[in-house]
Amino acid sequence: MKQSQKILATIAVAAFSGALILSVIAPSNEDQVSLDPQQSDAVVDSTAFNSLVEVEQTVTVTDAIESIEAAVEPSPIRVHYFVKVGDTLSGVFSSLGISYQDLQEILIADQVPLQLDTIKPGDHLEFVLEPETKQLSRLVFNISLVEQADYVREEDGKFEYTFLEQEGEWRERHYSGEIRGNFSLSAHQAGLSSNHIGNIARILRDKIDFARTLRAGDRFDVLVREQFLGDHPTGNREIQAVSFELSNGIVSAFLARTVDSMIAKVIV
């Protein structure tokens, strides 16, 4: 009996000691939920700072977008028009919604050069319009790859004409052939254009009767100067020299440059 009482007493003491140890080691509920005042202030300041940064970043990006949009101006409207059969300049202006007054101002600027009087099917016209008002600010007539008739609106509303030309590269080409049938057919077969053939006949009309003088077997040589823009011929050509080897002699002509123009010199 006494032995049992000792055992129970020992268990009771051990239990009491264990409870005392746990109460010392384990933190109280109050310690678990309370925050140091300085730590609390720090948390609040950090949250406010992050919010301010986000707002500042948002405002900055928005302002930048608005600044870019304000700085970018609308681009001019460019209309490329290729003249068709039956087109007139007034009809082209009307179809594009360009005012009759602008047409009149363009024609006034073109009174001396008269470039627009020669437009034909296939010609390229470029109209530059204001993006907001759709008013004509510039007209460019592309005469060739290297030549342009440029009409630009001035502050007073009138148009100023300027002839623009790129230099390009001039290359010489030699054409030769033999008369078979008539000169026109033989020259075409040699590669000469109708324009060149007409110019040769005009230059030498006082020295050669192209209908009667030429005989089968007579030879001709033509030196032509051609303009290129890169590898593309511009269509501009000029005859430098012509020579006919006839049964009764040789007739030659060359172009000599003067201060104002070019003249033909014929050598028989």
Return the C-alpha torsion angle 27, 30, 34, 36, nearest 10: -60
Q: Which amino acid does the sequence have at 33?
A: V
As a whole number of angstroms, the distance between CA 248 and CA 208 comes to 11
The predicted structure's pLDDT at residue 247: 87
pLDDT at 47: 54
Which H or E run includes 193? none
Counting as low any pLDDT under 50, the low residues of the chain are: 1-9, 11-13, 15-44, 49, 52-53, 55, 259-262, 268
Contacts of 189 by beta carbon, 8 Å cutoff, 6+ apart:
177, 180
Q: Which two tokens stand for residue 66?
A: 């608005």
pLDDT for 11 equals 47
> What's the confidence (pLDDT) of residue 185?
95
pLDDT of residue 49: 46
What pLDDT score does 73 carry?
Answer: 76
Structure-token match 């302002």, residue found: 63
C-beta of residue 216 within 8 angstroms of C-beta of residue 172 = no
Edge-to-edge strand ranges of the sheet holding 147-153? 77-82, 124-129, 136-142, 147-153, 159-165
Tokens read off for 182: 């008539």
pLDDT at res. 16: 44
Task: Compute CA 93 distance to the chain's CA centroid, rounded to the nearest angstrom.
Answer: 23
The pLDDT assigned to 176 comes to 96
DSSP symbol at 76: P
Residue partners of 148: CB distance under 8 A and separation at least 6: 140, 141, 142, 163, 164, 165
pLDDT for res 64: 59
Those residues with Cβ within 8 angstroms of residue 228's Cβ, 6 or more apart along the chain or in another chain: 168, 169, 170, 171, 234
pLDDT at 51: 52
Contacts of 14 (CB under 8 A, 6+ apart): none
Q: Tell me how far CA of residue 86 lies from CA of 1, 119, 120, in angstroms.
A: 137, 11, 9
pLDDT of residue 166: 87
pTM of the model: 0.54
